Structure 1
Amino acid sequence: MRRSLWALLITGLAGFMAALDNLVVTTALPSIRQDLGGTLEDLEWTVSAYTLTFAVLLMTGAALGDRFGRRRLFLAGIALFTAASAAAALSTGLDALIVARAVQGVGAAVMMPLSMTLLSVATPPERRGMAFGIKGAVDGLAVAGGPLIGGSLTEHISWHWIFWLNVPLGLLLLPLARFRLEESYGPGNRLDLSGTVLVSGGLFGIVFAVVNVGTHGWTSGRVLTGLVAGAVLLGAFVRHGIRKERPMLPMRMFRGRAFSGINAAGLLMFLGMFGSIFLLSQFMQQVGGYSPTEAGLRMLPWTGMPVIVAPLAGYLSDRVGGRVVAITGLVLQATGLALFALVISPGVSYAAQLPALIAGGVGMAMYFAPASQLVMASVPEAEQGIASGANSAMREVGGALGIAVLGSVFSSRGGYADFAHAVTLPLWLGALAVGGAAVAAMVIPRRGAGGTAARRVPPQGRGELRDQLTTA
């Protein structure tokens, strides 16, 4: 019991740091521009540089942990993330800040998937739903609370402190992780170099393209080249995963309805959620006239819900199954975004926004709690590391797509000059994406959705399905 509690504390804090930095910069952009200069498009790279390296290297981080030791790589990820955070805080120019943010993403890409595996290994199966629920609460609070934390620190101290915040947390985690977590390895302990190169290059092409859409447009040579090159490399990676005997991500895993369903749901949910939060946090300031701190406080009915709801949702996942809880959460979140789209206007009152904030917050918390549990339950225990990395990569790519696609639609409809009108269609698209995530989650079979690990059967030979999932 003590081992699982220590694992929950350590992985929860590490996940908080990594998830927080996805959106913590958004409310600090005006202050960063005042200090360091640059256009708004240049400043957006302080968000995108982190997302880019984070999404691209998640599967690679999981694979390296399986090969060289999960605790060892987890420690390396924390150390790199902490050092890069200090470098970002000390940046005196925009280029240096963007480079530091990219290195932060590398450290986070190692930490995040391994934190899920380390927690799963340390927690008895009957308690994993609650453990993942609590961790989901922390991760969800960090993602949604980024604008509040970033705005408060920027307004009352300085934007540098959104990065200094990570340093004492990282220095605390290093000895705790070293002495309180047990080492573990993945099956085979062999690194699939060709698969690593293909998936890293493919994800880089796709994510690089979508983060450039806002500046260059969908038809620019830079964006089209990234999309085409990324698609070709990812296609080669899929072929590699089918033909190779022991690939880093066996494509047979996607034949399981649980694994394919929860990954599709994660991509669509993050697409709708990230893009919407990115715009709504600015709406509170640009149209509502609130300071960064005031805007963050008024979003608390949404951003604070994971703390209250996610542990309860994790408990319910153990009792009634994660599938039901996740679908309910996604429906509620889609409803919240739709309500925002219906009421949003230049003079909308805060009271009119409250139902949307509450529905979105409860829904987000109910999804985060069982999502990790469903990922881990969809594959055999030996493959949970790479499954976590794949799922995290899908979600981060979804987040990058959300900011790019919804931001592009926002700009095409007038952008900041007519914010309330321009943001309506992106919010409807966000609601549609999260609704699609609910449909994808319905693919997950009822049996085994409560958190039981998939059953492993004996190998059948090269090129065939060697592991059959009960959730298939």
Structure 2
Amino acid sequence: MSQTLRARPKAKWWALFVISLTQLVVVLDGTIVNIALPQAQIALNMDDHLRQWVVTAYALAFGALLLLGGRIADYWGRKRTFMVGMIGFGLASLYAGLATAGWELILGRGLQGVFAAMLAPAALALLTTLFPSGKERNVAFAVFGTVAGTGAAVGMVLGGFLTEFFDWRWCLLVNLFFCAVGIIGGALFLTESKAAGDKRYDLWGALLVTAGLASFAYGFSLAETGWTNPFTIGFIVLGLIILAAFVWVQAKVSNPLLPLRVVANKVRGGAFLIQAVAGSVMIGATLYLTFHLQIVLGMGALEAGVASLPLPLGTMVLAGFATKMLGQVGPRPMLIGGPLVVAGALVYLSFITADGNYFVQVAPALLVMGLGMAFVFIPLQNVALTGVEPHDAGVASAVTNSAMQIGGSVGLSIFTAVYAAIIGGHAQGEVGRDVLTNGYGGVFLAAAVGMVLASVVAFTMVRGRKEDLLPREPMTQDESVSEDGPVSEDTGTLALAN
């Protein structure tokens, strides 16, 4: 351990505060803008097609570049990556907060996602370095996990408060405060570390996966103009071709961004698919819930933020029980039943009416969705690491997080097409509240179908004995060089599911 930390043992707990604050920023930025989006759409004169990209740009850039961000942190230096990511995230937030046109806001959100893909893995790698083992490590990860779990709820309430009493732009500009604390705290309390071994970057892989996913998501976003539109079909097909090229490159290069052995396993592949569907619901479908609360039910931004809380709170309340249940029954029953519970809640939510009562039509569904999601998210991280070699543990965990973000971006494009088809392609201001409500209900029903498919995936792919579906012992990783001594290689690619 460095002399600085020997002289000031409390420094690493201050470092924990800085790292946890970083995780809070990354997670809450996935939800804080949702509450502000109706006001931002009016202020920047965005149409319904363009507004979805305010959310999609962040999720897509974050998910597609997360693996590369982890490699950069491992090879270039975790503290250095953290600092650059924090500075870049602050500048991107400033740019987006001062946007005068819809495309500027979308570009700013995409840049936020790029730097978040550097911040998230670097933060967790630094945490692993600072607390390598023992009771302190358990406490540190408990704090970090709690912050990650509550970030979505904090984003909803904070976004509602800032939009209601200040301006929607402050949902982006507030990041400057967090980034300033992170930059100062990082400079004072964090120490540098790097991974040993092969340090070649798979830049072609990063370029292909990003371009392929972007084309795929854009193609689905065009589906609102018609599934037979040549551009819709063209971009979807182009995305599939580029993604196929990505797979080919990963099979050929010596140091792939995503080793195919990680996703080729049937059980892990099923887990990644389920995570993608869950992401489509948590990122895509819940955006339309925000629209319903504010546009149809007439709630203010803060009231809508608070009204969204039963969903994350339901997950948090049941998380402890779900963790105990995982050891008793194993992940398979939970991954089959959890999505069905969420699907049932979404079906109930699809029957919303324009003059319906929130406490009758919305709140019960959100609470049940949250409870069901606890039985999805808790086992997924475990299943994602089933049978993984120690060297691939970080990559497998990162893919789980990437799947959530990518599923959210693609899912939102699909839900937007469903919504547009139901309301007849009209703009939001051209139709009545009843038509809008029907559109939102159609989105929730489409999300329910997705969760049923997730349950089918679990039934068909997540198979085996309970003992075989859970990691048998904590993963140990190859050692690398740090100023504080040996640390795990590839820890920079680790990331918690949001």
Scaled to the shorter chain, the TM-score interval is 0.7 to 0.9
Check 1:384–1:125 CA distance in 2 against 1; reply closer, same or farther (3 A cut): farther
Cα drift, residue 430 of structure 1: 0.8
Q: Are the counterparts in 2 of residues 14 and 112 from structure 1 also a CA contact under 8 Å?
A: yes
The 3 A distance-change label for structure 1 pair 382 and 139 is same
SS at match of 1:25: helix
Is the aligned partner of 1:334 residue 2:334? no
Alignment of 1:156-235 (within 5 A): 156-177=165-186, 179-180=189-190, 183-185=193-195, 188-214=198-224, 216-235=225-244
Alignment map for 1:402-441 (pairs within 5 Å): 402-414=411-423, 417=431, 418-441=435-458
Q: Give the residue type in structure 2 aligned to 1:270.
A: G
Task: State whether residues 211 and 404 of structure 1, in contact with CA within 8 Å, keep that contact through their aligned partners in structure 2.
Answer: yes
Closer/same/farther in 2, CA of residues 240 and 95 from structure 1, 3 Å limit: closer
Q: Tell whether 2:289 aligns with 1:272.
A: no
8 Å Cα contact 1:330/1:364 also seen in 2: yes
| 2:272 aligned counterpart, secondary structure | helix
Classify 1:235/1:80 alpha carbon distance in 2 versus 1 (closer, same or farther; 3 Å). Answer: same
Query: For residues 139 and 324 of structure 1, do their structure 2 counterparts lie closer, same or farther at Cα, with a shift above 3 Å needed?
Result: farther
Distance 1:296 1:455, change over 3 A: closer
How do 1:122-137 residues align onto structure 2 when only pairs under 5 Å count?
A: 122=131, 124=133, 135=144, 137=146
Measured at CA, do residues 296 and 194 of structure 1 come closer, stay the same or move farther in structure 2, by a change above 3 Å? closer
Supply the distance in 1 between the matched residues of 2:295 and 2:274 (Cα, whole angstroms).
Answer: 31
Of 320-329 and 300-309, more deviation after overlay is shown by 320-329
Alpha-carbon distance between aligned partners in 1 of 2:138 and 2:336, rounded to the nearest angstrom: 16
Relative to structure 1, the CA distance from residue 213 to residue 49 in structure 2 (aligned partners, 3 Å threshold; closer, same or farther) is farther
The Cα shift of 1:83 comes to 1.8
Which residue, out of 403, 407, 416, partners 1:398? Answer: 407
Give 1:266 deviation, angstroms. Answer: 0.7
| Residue of structure 1 equivalent to 2:97 | 89
Select 2:36's aligned residue among 10, 20, 28.
28
The 1:13–1:136 alpha-carbon spacing in structure 2 relative to 1, beyond 3 Å, is same
Q: What TM-score, normalized by structure 2, do the two folds share? A: 0.79
1:242 aligns with 2:232: no
SS at match of 2:467: coil
Q: TM-score, with normalisation over the residues of structure 1?
A: 0.83
Cα-to-partner distance string for 1:251-284 (whole Å, 9 max, x where unaligned): 1222334421221111111123323201111112
Change (3 A) 1:323 1:114: farther
Secondary structure class of the residue paired with 2:62: helix
Secondary structure of 1:281 counterpart = helix
The CA distance in 1 between the partners of 2:389 and 2:45, in whole Å, is 50
Give ranges in structure 1 of 5+ residues lacking alignment.
Answer: 458-472
Residue among 75, 78, 81 paired with 1:70: 78
8 A Cα contact 1:46 1:101, kept in partner:
yes
Q: Is the 8 A contact 1:284 1:290 kept in 2?
A: yes
Does structure 2 retain, via aligned residues, the 8 Å contact 1:273–1:430?
A: no
Query: 1:190 corresponds to which letter in structure 2?
Result: R
Match of 1:352 in 2: 360
User: Quick one: distance in 1 between partners of 2:398 and 2:76?
Assistant: 15
Tell me how many residue pairs correspond in the alignment. Answer: 455
Matches within 5 A, 1:145-164: 146-164=155-173
Larger displacement relative to structure 2 (386-395 or 278-287): 386-395
Match of 1:80 among 85, 88, 98: 88
Change (3 A) 1:439 1:126: farther
- Tell whether the 8 Å contact from 2:156 to 2:308 is kept in structure 1 after alignment: no
| C-alpha separation in 2, matches of 1:115 and 1:324 | 33
Q: 1:200 to 1:63 in 2, by over 3 A?
A: farther
Q: Percentage identity across aligned positions?
A: 28
Letter in 1 for 2:180: L
Alpha-carbon distance, 1:42 to partner = 3.6
CA RMSD, Structure 1 to Structure 2 (Å): 3.5
Report the CA distance between 1:120 and its aligned residue: 5.4
